[in-house]
Structures are given as structure tokens and as C-alpha cells.
């Protein structure tokens, strides 16, 4: 591994001359270059690094000797490894808001030590369970006065999306997939309702900011000029604005699914819970994907058993509710994410290597697919064979609930059962046998539903 050999460098990590991220010996590591060593050493000696880590705001790290044949590698850092990388377009409203507030808290503490954040990318934040943490050790540089260089980026990647989620549509953050740089401030200003002109934060940081950016009379990167005191006031104003954005009302129809006992006669939910727990115990899974997690009923069962769980659901209201319930727990073992499994997160960015697709991220030991199969087959019109192939790419074990076409839950999705000729138990088992080996099954009491535990096999597709 040498300084000119970047075959282990992460393709998305190329913009900062102060350093880059590599993947080496099974771990992600951060290289500090000769361009970044002065700011990094100041960051450590100032005590800011230790302070942020002790507060739980920044990932900890240790140093390894840099290779001798890499003269430009001044330091080699091994940070705490984040189990599952996620992206802003997969976060719910309060996840994005907490990531924004974390960024502002880090910036405020940096100023107290004579440092500032040179960027405010939302991707500088990741989640340990349901707790946000800052991950970019090289975002810090000595503050030399003047405006905050990251101001416009903060507004594009945090404030603008949050306001659109509040005032236009709760799923606005999903459209960050279309532009990883964030929402154009002028477009945000035009899309927000007129009443936001009467609110100080949106008026100052979006509407007047957009007008000033068009005219470009102000500081670099759209940042308003000012002294250190002015910068402190700016950060305080941004924090006040973000804190006052109310959580939007989500129009989703599934948030009360389990509480209302929809499609489950008396005794069925308890039978299903016992069946899921018993079958999952057989896998001894450390990492679980809960697909179609809803509000996390079964994610919590897995977490209580000691597993780390990534809970996916397309209903952002369900995801946000689960996040709010989990974020104050210690430790937090559940990471709730917004994702439509019929349209999962792809690789994005330059050369399609700026982000990781769902398939490029770590696999699970166990994949839960409960009360989801019929949505994928009927609502998304995906054949069983394609669904089986998709699920086989996500993890070793699969615990799936088969809901027959005669079930009331399927009848709510379609009255054209004849269009789904393969929707039968034999069709389901035949399709899944191409990728999995059946280990066990368990009937859900008082229903025609059945839980199946499969193990992925090496059979050719």
C-alpha cells in the first residue's frame, strides 16, 4: 500500500486535498495528507477532538503508522467503524433534523477552540443505531475570521430539505437522490408557501439568501460576511430556525397497522410474535434487516435479543415514529431508514461510485420479510422469482411471511386475483427454492398465513 497506489481508496473520497478514505484490511481508514496535517494536528492539540468524542458527537479513532513508501501520507487514522452507512435521502424528518442540529453543535464547539467546519455535507453524519454522530475528522480547519464557508451547503443539504418536508411534502428528502449536492436555494424559495416570508428563519436563510445568491454581493459560497461574533449569531439563528420547524403530518396509511390489529383476528398477532421469535432464535443473527418494518414491532424483538437491526419502510411516518421512540434509548440497536424496497437505493454520483447501493453495503445475517411479500407481488407487480433473487442478495437467512391471495390484506390491494396466476403456495415455494433451502415453517394461528425460515443456498439461479 503506497502513497501513489489508490486502488484501495474509496471512489467518493476525492474532493478534500487534506485527506481521503481507504478500505484496507477489512476496515475503513482515513489518510491525512501533507496538505491537511497542520489543521489535523491543531484539531487534536486544541482538545476539540477529545471533547467531541467524550460528548458522543464524533467517532473516536486511533492512529496507525503511515507506510514509508507513501511520503504524502502524514497520518493514517482508524476511526470507529459504522456498521451500516446510510444517506440523507434515506432519513426521516427527525433524523435529518437531528443531523442538522449535530452539525451546528459541532460547529459551535469548534469555534470555542479556534476552529471551524469547512464543509457541512449531510454525509458527514452517520447513525449509530438511532443516534447521529459526526464522522469526518478532516472537516475542521483553523478559523481565520470572516464568514462560514459551509453556510450555503448547510442550507442546501439541511435547512432547505427540512422546510420542504414541513411545508410541501414529508418525503421531500427522497429527492436528494436527484442531486447529491442538495436543493438549490432559489428553487426552495420558490416552492415554499408565501407565509414562510413571515417567519424570520426561512426569510433570512432561504428567501433573502436566495436573492443575495443571485446578486452575489456577499462572501464566498453565499456566506454572509461578519466577525466571529457574527458567525456565532449566524449559527445560533440557524439552530433556532431548525429547532422551530415542526415535524410534518405524514399521510401514510400504515402507522397504526399493528395497534389496530388490521387483518389479524384475536390471538393471531401473539402467535406471529412467538413464531418469529422462535424461528429467528435459530439463526443467532447479529445483524438483522427488517424489511417493511412499519413502526418496528419486530425490530424491537430482534434488538431485545441482542441484534443490531436496520429497519426499512417506505412509509416515512412509520420510520419517523420509530426513530423518535428509539433515539433516547441507550444503547440504541435500531437504525430506521426510509426505503421503497421496490425501488431501493442505487449507486449514485460520478461514475455511479459516489454512494453505495443497497447491495454494496454489508449484508445481514437475517432478513425479516413480514407482511411484505404480497405488497411486492401485487402492488409492485414483481414476480416471486425476482423477489426471491432480490432477498437472496441481502442476507444469509430469510424469515418470510406468506400471505395467501385469499387473505383480506391481499384483497385490499387488488380484486383482480386472476392477474397473479403464480400467487400460490406451490408457486411461492418453487420460486424461493431456486435461491434458498427451507429449514422450518410455522403457521400463524387463526389465519392462513405461514412463517417460513429459509437459508440461502449456492444453487444456481
pLDDT of residue 366 exceeding 80: yes
Average pLDDT along the chain = 92
pLDDT of residue 357 exceeding 70: yes
- The answer to the question of residue 413 being in a domain is yes
Question: Measured between alpha carbons, how far is residue 37 from residues 61, 67, 75, 109, 119 in Å?
Answer: 16, 16, 8, 21, 17
* pLDDT of the residue at 1: 47
On the question of a cis peptide bond just before residue 331, with omega within 30 degrees of 0, the verdict is yes
- The answer to the question of residue 249 being in a domain is no
**pLDDT tier, 37 (very low <50, low <70, confident <90, very high otherwise):** very high
Where is the domain boundary, 59, 79, 99? 79
pLDDT of residue 2 exceeding 50: no
The percent of residues in the chain predicted with pLDDT above 70, rounded, is 92
Q: Please indicate, yes or no, whether residues 294 and 225 belong to a single structural domain of this protein.
A: no
- The answer to the question of residue 239 being in a domain is yes
Where is the domain boundary, 57, 79, 101? 79
- The answer to the question of residue 9 being in a domain is no
- The answer to the question of residue 191 being in a domain is yes
Q: Please indicate, yes or no, whether residues 433 and 287 belong to a single structural domain of this protein.
A: yes
End-to-end CA distance of the chain: give it in Å, rounded: 37
- As a whole number of angstroms, the distance between CA 451 and CA 153 comes to 47
Asked if residues 195 and 163 have their Cβ atoms less than 8 Å apart, the reply is: no
- As a whole number of angstroms, the distance between CA 183 and CA 181 comes to 7
Asked if residues 359 and 347 have their Cβ atoms less than 8 Å apart, the reply is: no
Phi, psi of 5 (to 5 degrees): -100, 100
* pLDDT of the residue at 455: 98
Domain that holds residue 28: 19-79
Least confident of 127-141, 166-180, 310-324, 405-419: 405-419
* pLDDT of the residue at 260: 53
Asked if residues 186 and 210 have their Cβ atoms less than 8 Å apart, the reply is: yes
Nearest of 420, 340, 407 to residue 378 by alpha carbon = 420
Asked if residues 170 and 250 have their Cβ atoms less than 8 Å apart, the reply is: yes
Looking at residues 123-134, what average pLDDT do you find? 98
pLDDT of residue 215 exceeding 60: yes
Q: Please indicate, yes or no, whether residues 96 and 150 belong to a single structural domain of this protein.
A: yes
- As a whole number of angstroms, the distance between CA 154 and CA 114 comes to 20
Least confident of 39-53, 60-74, 427-441: 60-74
Looking at residues 98-110, what average pLDDT do you find? 98
Q: Please indicate, yes or no, whether residues 131 and 215 belong to a single structural domain of this protein.
A: yes
| Range ranked top by mean pLDDT from 99-103, 142-146, 168-172, 407-411 | 99-103
Looking at residues 60-82, what average pLDDT do you find? 94
Q: Please indicate, yes or no, whether residues 299 and 363 belong to a single structural domain of this protein.
A: yes
Q: Please indicate, yes or no, whether residues 415 and 275 belong to a single structural domain of this protein.
A: yes
pLDDT of residue 286 exceeding 90: yes
Burial grade of 25 (CB within 10 A; 0-12, 13-18, 19 or more): exposed
Write the pLDDT tens digit of every residue in 164-204: 999 999 999 999 999 999 999 999 999 999 999 999 999 99
Cβ neighbours of residue 24 closer than 8 Å, sequence gap 6 or more: 1, 8
Asked if residues 282 and 354 have their Cβ atoms less than 8 Å apart, the reply is: no
Number of compact structural domains in the chain: 3
Q: Please indicate, yes or no, whether residues 276 and 128 belong to a single structural domain of this protein.
A: no
pLDDT of residue 402 exceeding 70: yes
* pLDDT of the residue at 6: 47
Q: Please indicate, yes or no, whether residues 63 and 92 belong to a single structural domain of this protein.
A: no
Where is the domain boundary, 79, 113, 147? 79
Q: Are strands 334-338 and 395-402 parallel, antiparallel or unpaired?
A: unpaired
Q: Please indicate, yes or no, whether residues 218 and 295 belong to a single structural domain of this protein.
A: no
pLDDT of residue 220 exceeding 60: no
Write the pLDDT tens digit of every residue in 248-263: 987 765 555 555 556 7
Q: Please indicate, yes or no, whether residues 371 and 344 belong to a single structural domain of this protein.
A: yes
Strands lying side by side in the sheet with 436-443: 334-338, 308-313, 287-291, 364-369, 395-402, 450-456, 436-443
Q: Please indicate, yes or no, whether residues 98 and 32 belong to a single structural domain of this protein.
A: no
Looking at residues 284-290, what average pLDDT do you find? 98
pLDDT of residue 62 exceeding 90: yes
Least confident of 123-132, 264-273, 433-442: 264-273
pTM of the prediction? Answer: 0.93
**pLDDT tier, 421 (very low <50, low <70, confident <90, very high otherwise):** confident
- The answer to the question of residue 250 being in a domain is no
Q: Are strands 308-313 and 334-338 parallel, antiparallel or unpaired?
A: parallel
Work out the number of other CB atoms within 10 angstroms of the CB of residue 281. 10
Q: Please indicate, yes or no, whether residues 209 and 301 belong to a single structural domain of this protein.
A: no
- The answer to the question of residue 3 being in a domain is no
- The answer to the question of residue 452 being in a domain is yes
Work out the number of other CB atoms within 10 angstroms of the CB of residue 110. 23
Report the CATH number that the domain containing residue 287 is assigned in CATH: 3.40.50.150
Least confident of 94-108, 211-225, 231-245: 211-225
Write the pLDDT tens digit of every residue in 289-299: 999 999 999 99
Amino acid at each position: 500500500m503506497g502513497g501513489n497506489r489508490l486502488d484501495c481508496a474509496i471512489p467518493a473520497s476525492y474532493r478534500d486535498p487534506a485527506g481521503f478514505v481507504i478500505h484496507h484490511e477489512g476496515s475503513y481508514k482515513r489518510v491525512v495528507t501533507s496538505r491537511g496535517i497542520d489543521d489535523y494536528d491543531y484539531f487534536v492539540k486544541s482538545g476539540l477532538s477529545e471533547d467531541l468524542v467524550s460528548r458522543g458527537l464524533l467517532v473516536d479513532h486511533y492512529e496507525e503508522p503511515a507506510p514509508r513508501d507513501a511520503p504524502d501520507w502524514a497520518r493514517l487514522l482508524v476511526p470507529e467503524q459504522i456498521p451500516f452507512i446510510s444517506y440523507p435521502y434515506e432519513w426521516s424528518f427527525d433524523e435529518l433534523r437531528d443531523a442538522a442540529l449535530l452539525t451546528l453543535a459541532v460547529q459551535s464547539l469548534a469555534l470555542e477552540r479556534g476552529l471551524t467546519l469547512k464543509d457541512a455535507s449531510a454525509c458527514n453524519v452517520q447513525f449509530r443505531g438511532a443516534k447521529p454522530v459526526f464522522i469526518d475528522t478532516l472537516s475542521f480547519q483553523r478559523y481565520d475570521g470572516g464568514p462560514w464557508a459551509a453556510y450555503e451547503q448547510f442550507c442546501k443539504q439541511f435547512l432547505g430539505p427540512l422546510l420542504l418536508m414541513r411545508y410541501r411534502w414529508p418525503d421531500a428528502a427522497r429527492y436528494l437522490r436527484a442531486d447529491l449536492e442538495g436543493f438549490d436555494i432559489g428553487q426552495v424559495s420558490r416552492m415554499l408557501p408565501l407565509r414562510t416570508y413571515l417567519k424570520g428563519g426561512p426569510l433570512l436563510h432561504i428567501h433573502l439568501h436566495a436573492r443575495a445568491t443571485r446578486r452575489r454581493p456577499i462572501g464566498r459560497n453565499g456566506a454572509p460576511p461578519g466577525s466571529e461574533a457574527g458567525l456565532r449569531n449566524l449559527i445560533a439563528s440557524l439552530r433556532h430556525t431548525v429547532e422551530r420547524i415542526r415535524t410534518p403530518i405524514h399521510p401514510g396509511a400504515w402507522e397504526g397497522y399493528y395497534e389496530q390489529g388490521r387483518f389479524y383476528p384475536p390471538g393471531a398477532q401473539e402467535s406471529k410474535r412467538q413464531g418469529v421469535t422462535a424461528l429467528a432464535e435459530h439463526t443467532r443473527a447479529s445483524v438483522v434487516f427488517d424489511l417493511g418494518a412499519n413502526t418496528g414491532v419486530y425490530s424491537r424483538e430482534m434488538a431485545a435479543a441482542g441484534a443490531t437491526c436496520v429497519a426499512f419502510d417506505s412509509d416515512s411516518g412509520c420510520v419517523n415514529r420509530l426513530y423518535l421512540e428509539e433515539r433516547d434509548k441507550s444503547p440504541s440497536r435500531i437504525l430506521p431508514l426510509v426505503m421503497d424496497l421496490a425501488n431501493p437505493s442505487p449507486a449514485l454520483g460520478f461514475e455511479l461510485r459516489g454512494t453505495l447501493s443497497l447491495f454494496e453495503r454489508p449484508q445481514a445475517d437475517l432478513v425479516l420479510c413480514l407482511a411484505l411479500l404480497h405488497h411486492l407481488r401485487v402492488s409492485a407487480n414483481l414476480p416471486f422469482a425476482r423477489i426471491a433473487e432480490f432477498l437472496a442478495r441481502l442476507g444469509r437467512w430469510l424469515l418470510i411471511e406468506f400471505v395467501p391471495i385469499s387473505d383480506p390484506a391481499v384483497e385490499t390491494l387488488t380484486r383482480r386475483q386472476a392477474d397473479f396466476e403464480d400467487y400460490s403456495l406451490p408457486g411461492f415455494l418453487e420460486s424461493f427454492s431456486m435461491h434458498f433451502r427451507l429449514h422450518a415453517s410455522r403457521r400463524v394461528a387463526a389465519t392462513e398465513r405461514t412463517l417460513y425460515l429459509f437459508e440461502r443456498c449456492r444453487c444456481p439461479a
